[in-house]
Structure 1
Amino acid sequence: MPALASHRKPRTRVRTTTPAVGLTTAALASVTLLSTQSATAAPAAPRPSIEEVQKKVDALYRQAGTATQQYNKAKTASAEQRSKVDGLLEAAAKRADKLNETRRELGNYAAAQYRSGSIAPTATFFLADDPQSYFDQDQLMARMTSQQQQAVTDFRAQQKEAAAKRVEATKSLETLTESQATLRTSKQQVQTKLAEARTLLSELTAEEKARLAELERRKEAEARRKAEELARQQAAAKEKAEQAAKEQAAKEEASQEEPATGTGTGGTGSDSGYATKAGKVLAFAAAQIGKPYVWGATGPSSYDCSGLTQAAWREAGVDLPRTTWDQVEVGTRVATADLQPGDLVFFYDDISHVGIYKGDGMMIHAPKPGANVREESIYYMPIYGSVRPA
């Protein structure tokens, strides 16, 4: 028995020691691995500055504006193409009805010929498939009256017209499908850009949002300063023109001449007519202030930029195209220094935004998603050019 006891004692010590050694080795290995990973891990990407975020958000809104104009263009094209397709399908249906009517008339002629025994029974076979193929036979044509022969001629012409309309309708349907695909793509682009902008803004801290708001205030203040400078320049130019007109009138009076018409700032009939239209445009635009910007919207509860300008000028009896790209081609180009109330001012190199000039360097426009129709300096965005629509 003592021999057995001495044999068990060392084995007990071995069992208690081995796990302890294993745990210590694993712990050391873990510490070594973590230290190695920490030493070799790449540094975290630096957080973008508020200025960089502002530029990125502005760029995304601008890209969304461009995609909105693409959407508007595709939507207009799709609506026009749908109307054309409907017209072609209706025309094709009418021609088909007329063709069937003529076919029945020819069938009646053939049936009458058959009952009188003047044609062979096999004529019914040809007639069932295609009346024209049977009436092409010289012997039958010789027996037909001039009225019946005219019916065959009409049938042939109607066949060609119906076939041509079917081809035209098919091509128009293909074009419509392409327009609708472009419409879907543009819509997706707008939604993607706006989602990216919202994500960037949502990741800002409260302090960063405050700093971003301060940058916006500075930008707006600088834009207002430029607007005020333009207003002073325009006022000085107007005063100079009025003084010149007075001097000219005085000279004419001194020489006992009739005052010239259509000169000075009193305005020609054309200028007066434009001012009247512009008054209606600005009254409408002012009434929309506070309504939200919604891309693709044309009113009355919301607008995008070109939807607002289109609706405003419609009040003055002028039908503008739907997109900024088409609106910029309407009317007469004018320099920024020569802007008059009612003129359209376009922005960015891609002409993706437009506003209505109000005077004194200010405009009324639908700015961007998340903002309402408002009055703002035309210098808030880079100016592309301006037009006088009427």
Structure 2
Amino acid sequence: MSTPRRSPLPGVHRIARALAITAAATGVLGAAVAGTAEAAPEPPSRKDVKAQVDQLYDEAEQASEKFNAAQEAQQRLQAETNRLLDEVATGQDGLNRLRGELGAVAAAEYRSGGLDPTVQLMLSSDPAGYLNRARSLDQAAARQADTLHELVDRQRGLDQRRAETAAKLTELDRVRQSLTASKREVQQRLAKAQKLLDSLGAAERARLTAQDAEEAESRATRGTDRLDLGNQPASSDRAAAALAAAVAKVGSPYVYGSTGPRTFDCSGLMYWSWRQAGVSLPRTSQEQAHAGQRISLAEARPGDLVIFYKDAHHVGMYAGGGVVVHAPYPGAKVRYESVSAMPVSGVVRV
């Protein structure tokens, strides 16, 4: 006997339908929220951006010093190449002149028939006159031999100059390629840094710049409200003049590859400042690290160069009181900084 099917309670179908619709809507909403979260990740914090930008600026400065070195080498090689090319041109003119002289002598011999001197004497109607001319011819032949030796020597020297010129041109091409690569590397690092900074927005960027300047000032003043450089004298009158020139540029913008007078990179500031004191320093921080007497940091006096980092890619000038004046990196200006803010690799007294 079959059991009669019990009818569902009134409203059950409506409730079930409502629950199903609600569940479906909730699922769609949840997926949409998840998708939105993935599409809009949380923006990087100012601290994270600063750390990454500092790293990129450091890498850019390393590339910038490579760029400076390549630019310096290019100028030197170009000057040497131009000198060699001038020597080759002058040498070729000299060779052409000597060849002309020898050619004239050879033509004269041809016109005389190239007879043996004894036969010419026998056929001569004026033997005494012929002998006088023969002595002159002997002297001319000796001069001709000297000219021939000179021609050979000059040709050898000219060939050597041409080989040197070719080598210089090859080296110059390699340096130009290095210059281009270093410039591209600097630009790439700076572009990445700028992209990171742009992710913060104008207000955050301004706060980051202000914070960086305040922290540098705090390090230089040891947290006080004034800068104390002490009263230690400079190592020389020229060092004092160089320091005065550098200090006068506090507030000037950093621009890579620049040696002033309005913008500077780190080694460019040292190069320009010492030029004002009548001293020509090498262009790069790595070369400046060998531009004078190496001393310890404890012996540093105002005007001395302080070389930073193991690869010597940054340099500042000791101002006294444990403080240097330097051009820090793009976006910052020439300023005072505690000497302990970066690892010191050496101090140089010019």
Normalization by structure 1: what TM-score?
0.68
Task: Identify the residue that residue 57 of structure 1 maps to in structure 2.
Answer: 53
Residue type of the alignment partner of 1:322: R
Q: Note if 1:388 corresponds to 2:348.
A: yes
| Number of aligned residues | 300
Is 1:321–1:327's contact at 8 Å kept on the other side of the alignment? yes
8 A contact 2:198–2:205 mirrored in 1: no
Q: Using the alignment, how far apart are the partners of 2:189 and 2:242 within structure 1?
A: 31
Residues of 2 paired with 1:223 and 1:337: CA distance?
Answer: 19
**RMSD over equivalenced CA pairs, Å:** 3.3
Alpha-carbon shift at residue 113 of structure 1 (Å): 0.8
Kindly provide the amino acid, as one letter, of the partner of residue 350 in structure 1. D
**Equivalent residue runs for 1:140-151 within 5 Å:** 145-151=141-147
Q: Separation in 2 of the partners of 1:206 and 1:162?
A: 64
In structure 2, the CA distance between the partners of 1:218 and 1:59, relative to structure 1 (3 Å rule), is same
Match for residue 159 of structure 1 among 149, 155, 161: 155
Offset at 1:383? 2.6
For residues 91 and 213 of structure 2, the distance between their equivalents in structure 1, rounded to whole angstroms, comes to 66
- Say yes or no: does 1:82 pair with 2:78: yes
Offset, 1:203: 1.0
SS at match of 1:145: helix
TM-score (norm 2): 0.75
Question: How many Å apart are 1:178 and its aligned residue?
Answer: 0.7
* Secondary structure, aligned partner of 1:159: helix
Per-residue deviation at 1:186? 0.9
Relative to structure 1, the CA distance from residue 168 to residue 221 in structure 2 (aligned partners, 3 Å threshold; closer, same or farther) is closer
The question of whether the paired residues in 1 share the 8 Å contact of 2:250 and 2:334 is answered with yes
Check 1:147–1:34 CA distance in 2 against 1; reply closer, same or farther (3 A cut).
Answer: farther
* Structure 1 residues 95 and 275, CA gap change in structure 2 (3 angstroms): closer
- 1:8 alignment partner in structure 2: none
Is residue 102–residue 155 contact of structure 1 (8 Å, CA) maintained in 2? yes
Does residue 341 (structure 1) correspond to residue 337 (structure 2)? The answer is no
* 1:227/1:362 contact within 8 Å kept: no
Instruction: Tell me if the contact between 1:227 and 1:361 (Cα under 8 Å) persists in the aligned partners.
Output: no
2:295–2:349 CA contact under 8 A, matched in 1: no
Q: Which residue of 1 aligns with 2:280?
A: 319
User: Quick one: distance in 1 between partners of 2:287 and 2:34?
Assistant: 57
Q: CA deviation at 1:78?
A: 0.4
Percent identity of paired positions between Structure 1 and Structure 2: 36
**What CA distance in whole angstroms lies between the structure 2 residues aligned with 1:371 and 1:221?**
12
Residue of structure 1 equivalent to 2:197: 201
1:376 to 2:337 alignment: yes
The one-letter amino acid paired with 1:384 is V
Deviations 1:203-229 (A, max 9, x none): 11356446635753673365236587x
Taking the aligned partners of 1:111 and 1:43, their CA distance within structure 2 comes to 94
Please show how residues 257-336 of structure 1 align to structure 2 within 5 Å: 274-336=235-297
Counterpart of 2:318, as a letter, is: Y
Structure 1: how far apart are the matches of 2:162 and 2:292?
Answer: 39
| SS of structure 2 residue aligned to 1:333 | strand
- Shift of the 69–311 alpha-carbon distance from structure 1 to 2, 3 Å rule, reads same
**Matching residue's letter, 2:339:** I
Alignment partner of 1:290: what SS?
coil
Query: Hey, what does 1:255 align to over in structure 2?
Result: none
Give the match's secondary structure for 1:355. Answer: strand
CA gap of 1:320–1:206, structure 2 versus 1, over 3 A, is closer
Q: Distance in 2 between matches of 1:152 and 1:187?
A: 52
SS across alignment from 1:345: strand
More helix by share: 1
2:12 match: none
SS at match of 1:358: strand
Q: Provide runs of 4+ in structure 1 moved above 6 Å.
A: 33-37, 39-42
Letter in 1 for 2:279: V
Q: Secondary structure at the match of 2:145?
A: helix
